[in-house]
Every structure is written in C-alpha cells, then in structure tokens.
Amino acid sequence: MKRTIADVADWLDHRTGIQTAIRQFLYEEIPASSGWHQIFGSVAVFLFLTQAFTGALLAFNYAPTPGDAYNSLRYILTELTCGRLIRGLHHWGASMMIVVVVLHMVQVFLYGAYKKPREATWMVGVVLLLLTLAYGLTGYLLPWDNRAYWGTVVTTKIAGQAPLLGPYAQRLMGADGGLVGVVTFARFYGLHVLLLPPATLLLIAIHIYLVRKHGVAPQPGDEARPKQQFYPRQVFKDTLAIFAAFAILFTLAVVARVPLEQLADPTDTAYTPRPEWYFLFLFQFLKLFPGALEVIGSVVLPGLAVLAIILVPFLDRTRMIQVTKRTFAGAFVLLAAVAWTGLTAAAVKSTPKQDRALAIDYSAPTDWMQLTPEEMAGVAYFREENCLSCHQVGDHGNKVGPDLTQTSIHKDAAWMIAHFKRPAAMRPGSSMPPIQLADAQLNSLAAFLLKLTPANASALENAPDYAAQGALVYTANKCSGCHTVNGAGTDFGPPLNGLVKRHPRDWIEAHFADPQKLVPTSLMPAYKLPPRDLNNLTSYLLALPE
Amino acid sequence: MTDPTTRRGFFVAAIYGIGAAISAALGLPALAYLLLPPKTRKDDEWVEAGDVTKLAVNSPVELTFRRTRTDGWKVTSEKSTAWAVKQPDGSIVAFGPQCTHLGCAYHWEEGKTDFLCPCHNSVFSIDGKVVSGPAPRPLDRYQTKIDGSKLLLGRLLTSSEIQG
C-alpha cells in the first residue's frame, strides 16, 4: 500500500513537479532568530481563506439586491442549520483579519524588516492592508439593515469630500450626490465578491514570492548562527497560532451574537449611524476638524498617513539593528496605539445609547411583533406560570404534559379557560394544577395558546420581556378601548403601530403623564404609571411594527 | 531535551492534527448548512381550487387556482393547475398537471378519452394509470378534501407516496 502511494506520488512529481515544489517551499532555510514573532503572516492568510470559504457559503443563500439581501440573510440566520454560525464566522473573521494584519505590520515595522532589499514586500503588504479595510467597508453594506445603510451614507459622503476627485469617487461608488441605493449596493457587492478576492490572492502571491525571494528578514548576529528549516518547527508554531486564532474566532461566532437591525429605512431621521469598530478612530478624528477644515481630517490627513506608511522603507534608511534597540520605532508604535485607543474610546463614549432601537433582535424570528396586546399579555402569563416546566413548545420545555403547539389540543377559548381552572374536570386523569388567575388573564393566556403553532413557537420565545410586561400594562389599563395595535382594539384614538416613527420616547412618556399638555385637543386621560410599568409600556409601543 | 526525531514527529503530528480539527470544525457545519433542509415554517395549506358541483362524473376539467409557495426566503403566490375528475361516488381525484416522464403539460383528449402528453406521447387513462409511452409511473395526485361545494387541494403526492 505504502509502495503504491509512493509510486503514484513519484508519477505525479515527474509530470508536475509538485512534490519538489512543496519540498522546496517547506524546507526553505530561515534565520536562526526566526520564531513566534513571525506567525502573523500565516494567520492572516489562514483567516483570508476562512473568509473566502464562509463568504462563498453565505453567497449560496444570499440575494445581492437591497430588500432581498436582508430577507435572504434573515433566512440564513433563522431557517438554515448552522447559518448563524457561518455568518458569525464571516463577521468576526473580518474583525480578526484586521487585527492580525495590523499586528503583522507592527511586527515588521518594529523589527525593521522593511529595510533594503525588502521595500517592495512592505509596500505590497500595505496595499493588502488597504484591501482588508476595503472588504470591511463594502461588506458593511451587504446586510442592508439600518446600520449598513446609514453607515454607507456617511462613507459615500466622506468620499465626496475628496478634493477634485470627490464627485467622481461618489459616481464610482454608485452613490451620485451621496445617494445610496441599488447601484451603490451592486457596486459594493461586486467589489466585495468579484474584484477584491482575486486582487487579494494575486497580491498575497506576490507578497509571499517576495518574502521567499529575499528570505525571512534576519536580525543582526544571525550571520554567525546556523540557519534552521521552515518545516516543521516554524510551521508548527504557525499552525499553533492559527489554531489559537481559530479557537477565538469559533468561540466568538458561537457565543457573540452578530446584530441584525431592522431593514434599511432611508426615511428614519432619528438613526445615529456608527462605523465598524476599526473605523471609529477615523470617525472621531473627523470631529477635530470643524467646518471647512473637515476635508483635512476626512481625506487629506488619512491620505497622507497612508502615503507615509507606504513610504516607510524610504523614510527610514538606517541599517538594520536589534529590535530591542529600535526605541524610536517602538515609541512611534506606542504613540499610534495610544492615539488610536484614545480616539476609539472617545467615539464609544459619544455614542448615544440607542434606546429607541430597543435592541430588537432581527436575526431571530420576530413573529411576536404580530401578536395583539392580549395575546402578548398571554405570553407574560405563560412565562409567569412557568408552563414550560411541564409542557413542550417547539424545541423547549418538558414532555410531562402535551406539546402546546399541536393543533389537536387547541379547543375553543371557553374550553381552555374551564380547563385552566379545573384541569381534571375537563380532561379526566390530568395531573395539571389549576391556574390561579382572573378570568381576563386566563382569556389572554388562551388567546396566546390558540395562536401557537410549530412554526411560530420559536419566535414567541424571542418576545422580549419588556414587550410581554408592557402588554400586561396595556391590557390592565384597557388601552384597546380607544387604540388599535396589530389590528385589535378600537380606533377611537390614533392607531399605535408605527409610533416609533412619530414620537421619541421622552415625548411618549410625558404624554402619558399629561396628554393635554402636549396635544391640547386630546381626550386621553392622564396615566400615572409606576416608572417600571411606564418604561415597559413605552418600550413595547415603540417596538410595534409599522 | 528530547530526542530530535521524536520532537520532529510531534511537530508533524500536531500540524496534521490541527489541520484536521480545523477542517472538521469548518467542514461539518458547512455540510449541515448546505444539505439539511430549512426549518419548516409553514404546514402545507389547503387551497380552494373550484366548485365541485360544476364537475360532471368522469369528465376531466383543468382547474386553475393560486397557491402560495415558500421558495427560500420568498413566499410567492403562483398560478397552479390540476386535472379534476369527479368519481361516480361523488369524490374527486385531482391529478398534478405535469407528465411523470419529463414534466411536460399533458391534456385530456376528448375523442380518445385519455390523457395525452405531447412531448413523448405518454398516454394515461382517466384514473391516471400509464397506458403507453415512456412515463415511468401513474400521474401524481393532490390530496383532496371537499368542504360543502368547495374542492380543497393539499399536497401533491406520487402514487408510491399514496400507497406508502
């Protein structure tokens, strides 16, 4: 068997030279000083390949047009097995790639590995960093939620500020006059999946070729020491680093939920866009340049900074010295790190708590938004009475009692209420304890249970607590006597769906306390609600769909 | 220091081991993602296809109706048809509109009292059985229900699904 494999390998090598090539690649000699500090390049290549893989998987179930993009992403997240994991890997992989590429660059900078004859290797590397950022910028738009849309509006406006080239840059992005739409989307998608990946592959190939051509950069003193081979010791170190990076990435993808906000809404005037974390420093930097000076902060200085980074090998032409003696380079990196951290921290601090958005998780089913307040109050009673300790609903709960999503056990509301009060009387032999709630409350519970199907069971688990509690306040105060929510109630007062578009939270809370103060013609009585109830009710009303 | 050959063996084993672990951690979810069906969100709904009182016994009529179809992330309403045959006992048999050979639309030959597919000349009798031609199995049938005078159609089943 072993012989046959060797024969096949020999045959293949004669025709293609593949074995020889791999051997040459692996047994390349590297300086004695090589070691753990040189792992970042390999990790970056690994992350790039992972991004390509998960990106292709996402593309298999993704429709690259606005609207459909959002729906297909929700389909991936809510209906496909492992869809959430794969999107998580792609999302966090992007962030990790930025981190690793920057660390790689910092290492090369600190060690002075860009010096003659490795200037071209450095410059290609800087272009690869810019490409990595371009992935971040273009990929940000692709979920087509509010975050994506408004983030890109800002991006294209900044591009428009570039001296002379601004309007052309905007046209190139498909955002003439800063208007983000279908053309912008197509351009960003095309860049993200068609142009950037082959460009990256090509530049990685050139980058690695150059590294091989000039050899791994030695440290002073290496000449006197015997060289080591790349394989297996350094490959082992690289692999271990890749494994650590992958473990972090996988954990993030499983544990940290990637947000998905509501569908992009160009008419949402209250949305505060923020860029991805790695662009926050630029965002904050911009604030230092008010008025006409803005273009300096948005385009001129960042442009000059990139140029300076590209030209580093020509700005520093000193001889190679030990990394520990490169105090100026070390101080420079430290200063840059402090500036970056300061700007990012300031940006985070200045970000308003988006309490308007209420953190509705659109990456999970949102069928709960379609429930009437009465049914929603039923969700609250369902949770309070801890029905899941005996009953199964979807994938959750215990199997002591029947599965509540089965239509066969759904009788009419009157039967169910009688059953709640005296379970054994309606179903002989039932060991269910009676539910101690008032009739109106049992009515809510029955209304909710009648709505329950296998299809929406998982969605109802996702109903946030504020919505269930808010609906309790809503039903207790008989709001449906004057208002409608999701088609239920009376249209004596204004319908409450879409309230989020009409009034801010402060206004709504003030309006409860004294309606006539804000709307003199209002017939609504004042409601002095305890702060918790007021908060839940307002949050619930703001979460209602349009 | 351990023997250099064992250390080398350890490095190589670790490289392959980690490579295999990462491939599995990426590959298995990818397979699940691509091969497992989407979580079912909707039960098959019954759609109203027509009025049974307008059908005559043993006289096939092509009924046109709209049904919603969940297609990935889209729910579309599409036109659909069925060949309905009223049985002497009043029940209805509704055949799917496509030939079981290669999916062409067949039609009822009034004079010959057979269903004929124009593509490759498959012929089906009024009870859907293959009379001649390349069709591999009898015509597919919709699940049917009668509600008053309304004919309701459910899922389209093949003959083996009906028997099984």
| Contact (Cβ atoms closer than 8 angstroms) between residue A415 and residue A426 | yes
* Smallest CA–CA distance from A395 into chain B, residue: B39
Name the least confident of A6-15, A227-236, A359-368, A437-446: A359-368
B32 touches chain A (CB under 8 A): yes
B72 touches chain A (CB under 8 A): yes
| Contact (Cβ atoms closer than 8 angstroms) between residue B33 and residue A87 | no
B59 lies in the same domain as B26: no
Domains held by chain B: number = 2
A394 touches chain B (CB under 8 A): no
> What would the pLDDT profile of A125-166 be if each residue is shown by its tens digit?
999 999 999 999 999 999 999 999 999 998 898 888 888 898
In a domain, B109, yes or no: yes
B42 touches chain A (CB under 8 A): yes
Q: Would the CB atoms of B22 and A83 count as touching at under 8 Å? A: no
* Residue where a domain stops, chosen among A316, A350, A384: A350
Per the structure, the complete domain to which residue A384 belongs is given by 367-543
B4 lies in the same domain as B77: no
B23 lies in the same domain as B97: no
A158-187 exposure pattern, b = at least 16 Cβ within 10 A, e = fewer:
bbbbbeeebeebbeebbbeebebeeebbeb
| Contact (Cβ atoms closer than 8 angstroms) between residue A446 and residue A377 | no
| Residue B164's pLDDT band (cuts 50, 70, 90) | low
Nearest to A86 among B11, B29, B73 (CB): B29
A49 touches chain B (CB under 8 A): no
| Residue A357's pLDDT band (cuts 50, 70, 90) | very low
- Looking at per-residue confidence, does B90 or A69 come out higher? A69
Residue pointed to by tokens 């009676």: A434
Instruction: Give the percent of chain A with pLDDT over 70.
Output: 98
In a domain, A234, yes or no: yes
A376 lies in the same domain as A343: no
Confidence check: pLDDT of B43 > 60: no
**How far, in Å, CA of A247 to CA of A50, rounded?**
13
- Looking at per-residue confidence, does A121 or A500 come out higher? A121
Confidence check: pLDDT of A355 > 60: no
Nearest to B32 among A72, A81, A232 (CB): A81
Residues of A in contact with B43 (CB under 8 A): 453-455
B15 lies in the same domain as B78: no
Determine the residue type at A497.
N
A309 lies in the same domain as A161: yes
In a domain, A14, yes or no: no
* Smallest CA–CA distance from B41 into chain A, residue: A455
Averaged pLDDT for residues B42-49: 75
**Minimal Cα–Cα distance from B76 to chain A, Å?**
13
B25 lies in the same domain as B90: no
A379 lies in the same domain as A526: yes
- Looking at per-residue confidence, does A441 or A398 come out higher? A441
Q: What is the CATH number of the domain that holds B98?
A: 2.102.10.10
Residues of A in contact with B2 (CB under 8 A): none
A237 lies in the same domain as A132: yes
Task: Write the DSSP string, A5-47.
Answer: HHHHHHHHHHHH-HHHHHHHHHT-EE-TT-SGGG-HHHHHHHH
Domains held by chain A: number = 2
Label each residue of A485-496 as H, E or C: ECCEECCCCCCC
In a domain, B96, yes or no: yes
Confidence check: pLDDT of A490 > 70: yes
B91 lies in the same domain as B133: yes
* Smallest CA–CA distance from B70 into chain A, residue: A75
| Contact (Cβ atoms closer than 8 angstroms) between residue A142 and residue A148 | yes
In a domain, A24, yes or no: no
A386 lies in the same domain as A274: no
Residue A460 gets the label, from left (phi > 0), alpha (psi -120 to 50) or beta, of alpha
B31 lies in the same domain as B58: no
Task: Write the DSSP string, B6-33.
Answer: HHHHHHHHHHHHHHHHHHHHHHHHHHHH
- Looking at per-residue confidence, does A321 or A190 come out higher? A190
Averaged pLDDT for residues A309-320: 92
Residue pointed to by tokens 């946030």: A464
A371 lies in the same domain as A304: no
* Smallest CA–CA distance from B5 into chain A, residue: A232
Q: What is the Cα gyration radius of chain A? A: 30
B19 lies in the same domain as B56: no
Task: Write the DSSP string, B69-121.
Answer: EEETTEEEEEEEEEEEEE-TTS-EEEE-SB-TTT-PBPEEETTTTEEE-TTT-
- Mutation target to probe the B interface, by most B beta carbons within 10 A, among A49, A62, A70, A75 is A75
Q: Would the CB atoms of A63 and B30 count as touching at under 8 Å? A: no
Per the structure, the complete domain to which residue B24 belongs is given by 1-36
Cβ neighbours around A231 below 10 Å, total = 19
In a domain, B41, yes or no: no
Nearest to B26 among A50, A239, A240 (CB): A50
Exposed (0-12), middle (13-18) or buried (19+): which is A70, by Cβ within 10 Å? buried
B27 lies in the same domain as B53: no
CA nearest to A497, candidates A506, A507, A505, A487: A487
Highest mean pLDDT among A43-52, A169-178, B33-42, B53-62: A43-52
B162 touches chain A (CB under 8 A): no
Going from the C-alpha of A354 to that of each of A131, A269, A546, the distances in angstroms are 31, 13, 19
Is the preceding omega at residue A117 within 30 degrees of 0, hence cis? yes
> What would the pLDDT profile of A58-89 be if each residue is shown by its tens digit?
999 999 998 799 999 999 998 999 999 999 99
In a domain, A252, yes or no: yes
**Minimal Cα–Cα distance from B45 to chain A, Å?**
13
**Paired strand residues for B94:** B84
| Contact (Cβ atoms closer than 8 angstroms) between residue A159 and residue A135 | no
B91 lies in the same domain as B148: yes
**Minimal Cα–Cα distance from B5 to chain A, Å?**
11
Nearest to B73 among A50, A75, A236 (CB): A75
Confidence check: pLDDT of A366 > 90: no
Q: Would the CB atoms of A50 and B74 count as touching at under 8 Å? A: no
In a domain, B137, yes or no: yes
A227 lies in the same domain as A318: yes
Name the least confident of A309-323, A407-421, B65-79: A407-421
Confidence check: pLDDT of B147 > 90: no
Averaged pLDDT for residues B145-150: 88
Cβ neighbours around A491 below 10 Å, total = 9
State the average pLDDT for chain A. 90
Q: Would the CB atoms of B8 and A232 count as touching at under 8 Å? A: yes
A341 lies in the same domain as A388: no
A207 lies in the same domain as A346: yes
Q: What is the CATH number of the domain that holds A491?
A: 1.10.760.10
pLDDT at position A356 = 44
A330 lies in the same domain as A376: no
In a domain, A5, yes or no: no
Task: State the pairing for strand pair B130-132/B141-147.
Answer: unpaired
A25 touches chain B (CB under 8 A): no
**How far, in Å, CA of A328 to CA of A27, rounded?**
35
| Residue A235's pLDDT band (cuts 50, 70, 90) | very high
In a domain, A498, yes or no: yes
Instruction: Give the percent of chain A with pLDDT over 90.
Output: 56
* Residue where a domain stops, chosen among A300, A324, A350: A350
Q: Cα A75 from chain centroid?
A: 16
| Residue A530's pLDDT band (cuts 50, 70, 90) | very high
Taking each helix axis from N to C end, the angle separating B4-35 and A235-255, rounded to the nearest 10 degrees, works out to 30
| Residue B44's pLDDT band (cuts 50, 70, 90) | low
Residues of B in contact with A83 (CB under 8 A): 33
In a domain, B149, yes or no: yes
| Residue B155's pLDDT band (cuts 50, 70, 90) | confident
| Residue B42's pLDDT band (cuts 50, 70, 90) | low
Where helices occur in A311-453 by DSSP H, the ranges are 312-315, 327-350, 373-384, 413-421, 423-426, 439-451
In a domain, A2, yes or no: no
**How far, in Å, CA of B150 to CA of B4, rounded?**
84
* Residue where a domain stops, chosen among A350, A380, A406: A350
A385 lies in the same domain as A342: no
Q: Would the CB atoms of B21 and A243 count as touching at under 8 Å? A: yes
| Residue A358's pLDDT band (cuts 50, 70, 90) | low
Residues of A in contact with B36 (CB under 8 A): 80-81
B96 lies in the same domain as B149: yes
In a domain, B72, yes or no: yes
Q: What is the CATH number of the domain that holds A342?
A: 1.20.810.10
Pull the structure tokens for residue B115.
């269903």
> What would the pLDDT profile of B91-139 be if each residue is shown by its tens digit?
899 999 999 999 999 999 877 789 999 999 999 999 999 999 999 999 9
B113 lies in the same domain as B150: yes
A114 lies in the same domain as A141: yes
**Minimal Cα–Cα distance from A22 to chain B, Å?**
15
Cβ neighbours around A94 below 10 Å, total = 20
CA nearest to A162, candidates A276, A302, A305: A302
Residues of A in contact with B12 (CB under 8 A): 232
Determine the residue type at A509.
E
